[in-house]
Amino acid sequence: MNSAGPVSAVLQSERGRLLRSGTAERVTEILREQITGGLLAPGVRLSEESIGEALGVSRNTLREAFRLLSHEGLVVHELHRGVFVRVLTAADVTDLYLLRQVVEGAAVRSAARGELGTLIATVEQAEAAAAGRRWGEVATFDLQFHQELVSLAGSPRLDSLMRRLLAELRLAFHVMSHPGEFHEPYLLRNRSLVSLLQAGRADEAAAELRAYLEDAEAQLLNAFQQRDAGASTERKPQHR
Amino acid sequence: MNSAGPVSAVLQSERGRLLRSGTAERVTEILREQITGGLLAPGVRLSEESIGEALGVSRNTLREAFRLLSHEGLVVHELHRGVFVRVLTAADVTDLYLLRQVVEGAAVRSAARGELGTLIATVEQAEAAAAGRRWGEVATFDLQFHQELVSLAGSPRLDSLMRRLLAELRLAFHVMSHPGEFHEPYLLRNRSLVSLLQAGRADEAAAELRAYLEDAEAQLLNAFQQRDAGASTERKPQHR
DNA sequence: TGTAACCAATCGTTGAACAATCCTTCAAGA
DNA sequence: TCTTGAAGGATTGTTCAACGATTGGTTACA
């Protein structure tokens, strides 16, 4: 029983890194990265044969990965037709932002007595990236900021929910002409959000967050309206 | 265009049931039912060979189903060891109820202007089941009530989140001696919750819900403490 | 022009095979 | 007695090949 000392505790935290493996999981990660990164555009069909060959895995293993991605909402599985990178609708955006309001709102309320150090660091990284006009990083750090905000709640399930939520949201970002720059104006608001939290003004922080999300949603929906308006004139059959 | 009447709407809602097929999905449903129903007890190992043979599906198909259940948190997948029905900890219960507070709290706030008809019907079905001492049905209708409460928010993602949440929660119920009767005292509170919503007293409804969930969580945690206390004396190796 | 029949491509599922890993057992040694 | 180490069997991880089922497109025909 004395073996359950600090050594054991440290090792236990590392255990996950050892056990986690599995080709299917790794394939899932790769595909998720490609999809959220925009390399696999929404609407594209993911053929079992071609992708399996490209990654050097068998169809069965690939199918396990597809099932996971389908469960996360990043791809859509249509029977006997294959899996397609999901094409989000305006309704999806609305739904995603409703969820963000709920999740991040709850996180902010419980973040008053949290450790804000990592949050501040991320804000500064984002600002540095914006100063250097590295828009890709700006987007990454912006999303990371909100992920860390939720993690202050200390709930594993809220964390993974937020992670999936943001992954889906990245699908939506790709409809815009300049997805990276989209995030830039919100860095100031991230900064002020942290300031309010530091000052312990939780109510104001919640209000600021709500307005933040409403604005971002409106801006995204606007981009979607432009896309849908153009879709009727241009010929751009996603599929079906 | 006149064909897009009520008939079309009904058929469209049923379309999913037609298109959805796939052995893996059906296997997933069966296993999920068995697990949440308690027939496959927490800690039990799900052997690929035996279950595959019992259901008459191949190992590959079964593994796809396992991946989905693992993603839902109903089973735990350990590399090269197999999948096990999840054994929840007290921390899991706390986390699940934190999520319920967030999700159902948000739902109640947006339920004031909702249609409460189905909600009332479910309460009455639960009360009838309780009068007949059909505890299994009481539990089912109680959970259905909360599912319908969330569905008032009109968010597909919130719906599926709540569905998975309740499925996991059922895992926790099985640690109690009389899982069915556990729900009975809460039927009164479901009823009063609806009454408050009908009266448009949203704030009081939210407060009632919060207290409701706090009580249920405490009761569940109590059952878990009893289990963990007994586990140290009895020899009851779940696995490992 | 429209419809029916055909055909190629792909998915859905199965079964078998082999490697990798884990668990159990048992024996050897301190 | 306790720990360590070495088989051995059992189960999972992954691949491969096969065949039926479904889909989408193309051709032939009325």
Asked if A96 lies within 8 A of B158 by C-beta distance, the reply is no
Considering just the CA atoms, what is the radius of gyration of chain B in Å? Answer: 20
Pairwise CA distance, residues A56 & A190, whole Å: 42
Q: Given this model, what pLDDT does residue A111 score? A: 80
pLDDT greater than 70 at residue B97? yes
In the complex, which nucleotide's C1' lies nearest to the CA atom of residue B80?
D12
Mean pLDDT (chain A) is 89
Q: Given this model, what pLDDT does residue B238 score? A: 45
Considering just the CA atoms, what is the radius of gyration of chain A in Å? Answer: 20
Please state the rounded mean pLDDT for residues A56-85: 97
Pairwise CA distance, residues A48 & A51, whole Å: 6
Asked if A67 lies within 8 A of B72 by C-beta distance, the reply is no
Pairwise CA distance, residues A186 & A219, whole Å: 12
pLDDT greater than 70 at residue A171? yes
DSSP-derived 3-state class of residue A174: coil
Nucleotides of D under 7 A from a protein CB: 11-18, 21-24
Pairwise CA distance, residues B138 & A51, whole Å: 48
Pairwise CA distance, residues A97 & A177, whole Å: 20
Q: Given this model, what pLDDT does residue A8 score? A: 56
Give the tens place of pLDDT for each residue, B103-129.
Answer: 999 999 988 667 899 999 999 999 999
Pairwise CA distance, residues B95 & A153, whole Å: 10
Beta-bridge partner residues of B77? B83
Beta-bridge partner residues of B212? none
Nearest-5° Cα angle at A214, A228 to A76: 45
Please state the rounded mean pLDDT for residues A71-98: 97
DSSP states of A99-135 as a string? HHHHHHHHHHHT-TTS--HHHHHHHHHHHHHHHTT-H
Nucleotides of C under 7 A from a protein CB: 10-17, 20-23
Q: Do residues A158 and B99 touch, judged by C-beta distance below 8 A?
A: yes
Q: Is the sign of the CA dihedral A161, A165, A168, A171 positive or negative?
A: negative
Give the tens place of pLDDT for each residue, B200-226.
Answer: 999 999 999 999 999 999 999 999 988
pLDDT greater than 50 at residue A206? yes
Asked if B158 lies within 8 A of A79 by C-beta distance, the reply is no
Q: Given this model, what pLDDT does residue A14 score? A: 59
Provide, in whole angstroms, the distance separating residue B47's CA from nucleotide D11's C1'. Answer: 8
Q: Given this model, what pLDDT does residue A229 score? A: 78
B64, B79, B153: residue with CB nearest A19: B79
Query: Between A59-72 and A156-173, two packed helices, what is the crossing angle to 10 degrees?
Result: 100
Query: Between A59-72 and B59-72, two packed helices, what is the crossing angle to 10 degrees?
Result: 30
In the complex, which nucleotide's C1' lies nearest to the CA atom of residue A79?
C11
Provide, in whole angstroms, the distance separating residue A3's CA from nucleotide D3's C1'. Answer: 16
Nearest in space to B197 (alpha carbons), one of B89, B115, B101, B79: B115
A15 pLDDT band (50/70/90 cuts)? low
- φ, ψ at B32 (rounded to 5°): -60, -40
CA distance A223 to chain B (A): 22
Q: Given this model, what pLDDT does residue A179 score? A: 78
Please state the rounded mean pLDDT for residues B33-61: 97
- Calculate the alpha carbon distances from B149 to B86, B106, B120, B193, B220 in Å: 27, 10, 10, 10, 21
The pTM for the full model equals: 0.91
Q: Do residues A176 and A223 touch, judged by C-beta distance below 8 A?
A: yes
B46 pLDDT band (50/70/90 cuts)? very high
Would you identify the CATH topology of the domain B90-233? Four Helix Bundle (Hemerythrin (Met), subunit A) (1.20.120)
Residue A90 region by backbone torsions, left for phi larger than 0, else alpha for psi between -120 and 50, else beta: alpha
Give the tens place of pLDDT for each residue, A111-138.
Answer: 866 789 999 999 999 999 999 999 999 9
Q: Where are the domains of chain B?
A: 6-85, 90-233
B64 close to A (CB below 8 A): yes
Pairwise CA distance, residues A50 & A55, whole Å: 9
Element (H, E) at A23: helix A23-36
- A90 burial class (0-12, 13-18, 19+ CB within 10 angstroms)? middle
Please state the rounded mean pLDDT for residues B64-91: 97
**Is the shortest CB-to-strand distance from A227 to strand C under 7 Å?**
no
Provide, in whole angstroms, the distance separating residue B63's CA from nucleotide D9's C1'. Answer: 23
Class of domain A6-85: mainly alpha
Nearest in space to A224 (alpha carbons), one of A97, A88, A108: A88
Q: Do residues B83 and B70 touch, judged by C-beta distance below 8 A?
A: yes
Asked if B161 lies within 8 A of A161 by C-beta distance, the reply is yes
**Is the shortest CB-to-strand distance from A48 to strand C under 7 Å?**
yes
CA B178 to chain centre: 17
Please state the rounded mean pLDDT for residues A11-37: 81
Single-letter residue type at B131: A
Percent share of chain B, pLDDT over 70:
86
Q: Given this model, what pLDDT does residue A230 score? A: 67
Mean pLDDT (chain B) is 89
Residue B155's closest chain A neighbor by CA?
Answer: A95
Nearest in space to A171 (alpha carbons), one of A78, A80, A81, A96: A96
Residue A165's closest chain B neighbor by CA?
Answer: B157
Give the tens place of pLDDT for each residue, B129-183.
Answer: 999 999 999 999 999 999 999 999 999 999 999 999 999 999 999 988 887 889 9
Beta-strand relationship, A75-78 and A82-85 = antiparallel
Pairwise CA distance, residues A228 & A233, whole Å: 9
Q: Do residues A142 and A183 touch, judged by C-beta distance below 8 A?
A: yes
Please state the rounded mean pLDDT for residues B8-34: 73
B1 pLDDT band (50/70/90 cuts)? very low
Pairwise CA distance, residues A219 & A163, whole Å: 22
Q: Given this model, what pLDDT does residue B196 score? A: 94
Listed in sequence order, the DSSP H helices in B20-58 are: 23-36, 48-55
A71, A95, A153: residue with CB nearest B156: A95
DSSP-derived 3-state class of residue B77: strand
DSSP-derived 3-state class of residue B83: strand
pLDDT greater than 60 at residue A68? yes
Single-letter residue type at B233: T
pLDDT greater than 90 at residue B45? yes
Give the tens place of pLDDT for each residue, A217-238.
Answer: 999 999 998 887 765 554 434 4
